[in-house]
Each structure stands twice: as C-alpha cells, then as structure tokens.
C-alpha cells in the first residue's frame, strides 16, 4: 500500500512538472521562434557593393528597412526573406554571392528586426512584410514580376512560399526550410504534444500546393536544426517544374561550405529558367 501511495505521489509530481514545462513552452513560443537583433553594424558597403537604403510601408502601416543591391546587366532580382535570427546584416555573404552571380538582390528586415518598425514579429506580420517588399520591388522600383526569384532561407522559406503562393514570380527557391511549424516543433520537443498547442502554422507544404512557378529546394543532410527529410518532403509536394539540390555543411553555413556546388546550383537554375521560358513561348527579360 505504501509503495502504491509513493508511486501515485511520484506520478502526480511528474504530471505537474510536465504541465509546467508544457505551459512554459506554450507561452514562450514567440521568443523561441523569433530571435531578432536590432543593431545593424554592417551594410553591403563593407563588401564594396553599391546599394540603396530602402524604407517601405506595410499594409498595416509599419515602415520596414531593406537594402537593394543592383548587379550590372542583371536579368533576375532575388527577393530575399531571411531566417528567424539576427537581421539582414547577417546575410551579407549571400547577398554577395547573388551579386557575383549577376543578380540584383533586395533583402529586408521583418517587423521587430533591425531598424524596421514594430515591437515584435508575428506570423501574419511576416507575411505582410514580404508582400510589402514585393510591392516595393514591382511598383516602386519597377521590377517585372516575371524576373523576380523569391528566395527564403530557414523560417524565411515558409514566408517566401506564402508569398509565392499569392503573387506572380519567375521562381521560388527554398533553402534549409521546414515543412511546417508543428513538424519542426515536434523535432525539438518530441516528448510534448506540440501539434495540440502550436501557436504558429508556417505551413510551407500547404503554401507549395498553390505555387505555380518553378521551384528549387536546397538542403543539406548535415543540417542539425531542420532535418534533411523535411527538405525532401517539400520537394515531393512541390509542383513541376522543380529541382532538388543537396549541399553539405550545417544549417547556418551550408551555402558557404558547399562552395562551387551551391553557386553552380544557382547558375544552372538561372539557365533552366531562361530555357523554360523560351520553350513555353514566354517573354523574358534581357540577359
């Protein structure tokens, strides 16, 4: 009898502890997901790149900051949706790669990141932010929609997919991206009923079902944060035409450690996009 009471007491304590952990995770989800930094110490100028500091407004009235980096005789413009940590200054290596590949790049900070307005990011807010960046490119800068490659890395991949599901673009490229918030949450907390209390969706798979432009998926088997299998699943559900590129390295620097493999993937994709448009009788921008 005494052993039974001890067991019951142990189970009660365990249940209370489990509940406390669950509640903590539930109410702390936003701080776990978004890791913004306000200070912007470096700009494309550090790499010797000419650029334009851009301020643009979202549909709900916030002013966001971005950098437009033009490349000489560029035929494509990359709209860059960055990941959940830091701010756009942490993506300068990627901006430099796109510039050297002959593509313009427009990168921006979501609300609550860098010098953009807003106290904290939200899922709906990140979607509005990407839509506002797209409008600035097409309406203010006059960039043709069919020359825009919507690119997203990590969390930004889900934001990019949402945008590509509702606007016209030349292509969508997702790098190191998860299938949904619930899926990646289950990877980090397999002992918790994440799907029951997930406060976010970021349903990348669902967005891909509505994307009608060519899609390239980039992922590393060595990604320690977002499992390779999730990248493969994104490829499986993506519509044609599509391409999967396997790179090496970890989540945050695979695009660098992969070197020529990564750069050649982009070069081949740009070539494919031009041929695809030619074969389908679509008017293309000059190269």
CA-to-CA dists, residue 135 to 92, 105, 270, angstroms = 23, 15, 23
20 Cβ neighbours under 8 A, 6+ residues apart: none
Please choose, from the candidates 231, 210, 215, 207, the residue with its C-alpha nearest in 3D space to the C-alpha of residue 273: 215
Q: Whole-prediction pTM value?
A: 0.89
Residue pointed to by tokens 């290596």: 93
The 8-class DSSP code of residue 90 comes to G
Contact 80, 151 (CB under 8 A): yes
Max intra-chain CA distance, the chain: 84
The pair phi, psi for residue 146, each rounded to 5°, is -80, 10
N-to-C CA span, the chain: 83
One digit per residue, the tens of pLDDT, for the chain of length 287 reads 666 556 555 445 444 444 444 444 554 567 778 999 999 999 999 999 999 999 999 999 999 999 999 998 888 999 999 999 999 999 999 999 999 999 999 999 999 999 999 989 999 999 999 999 999 999 999 999 999 999 999 999 999 999 999 999 999 999 999 999 888 777 665 555 555 666 789 999 999 999 999 999 999 999 999 999 999 999 999 999 999 999 999 999 999 999 999 999 999 999 999 988 766 755 544 33
């Amino acid at each position: 009898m005494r052993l039974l009471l001890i067991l019951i007491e142990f189970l009660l304590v365990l249940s209370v502890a489990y509940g406390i952990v669950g509640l903590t995770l539930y109410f702390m989800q936003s701080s776990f997901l978004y890791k913004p930094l306000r200070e912007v110490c470096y700009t494309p100028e550090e790499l010797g790149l000419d650029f334009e500091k851009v301020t643009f407004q979202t549909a709900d009235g916030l002013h966001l900051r971005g950098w437009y980096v033009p490349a000489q005789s560029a035929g494509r413009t990359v709209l860059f949706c960055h990941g959940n940590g830091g701010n756009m200054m942490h993506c300068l290596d990627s901006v430099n790669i796109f510039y050297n590949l002959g593509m313009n790049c427009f990168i921006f900070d979501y609300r609550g990141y860098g010098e953009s307005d807003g106290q904290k990011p939200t899922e709906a807010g990140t979607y509005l932010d990407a839509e506002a960046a797209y409008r600035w490119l097409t309406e203010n800068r006059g960039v043709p929609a069919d020359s825009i490659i919507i690119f997203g890395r990590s969390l930004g991949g889900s934001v990019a997919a949402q945008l590509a599901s509702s606007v016209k673009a030349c292509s969508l490229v997702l790098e190191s991206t998860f299938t949904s918030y619930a899926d990646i949450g289950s990877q980090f907390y397999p002992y918790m009923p994440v799907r029951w209390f997930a406060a976010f969706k970021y349903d990348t798979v669902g967005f891909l079902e509505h994307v009608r432009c060519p899609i390239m998926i980039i992922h590393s088997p060595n990604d320690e944060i977002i499992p390779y299998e999730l990248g493969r699943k994104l490829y499986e559900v993506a519509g044609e035409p599509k391409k999967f590129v396997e790179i090496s390295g970890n989540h945050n620097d695979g695009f660098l450690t992969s070197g020529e493999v990564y750069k050649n993937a982009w070069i081949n994709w740009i070539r494919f996009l031009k041929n695809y448009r030619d074969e389908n009788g679509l008017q293309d921008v000059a190269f």
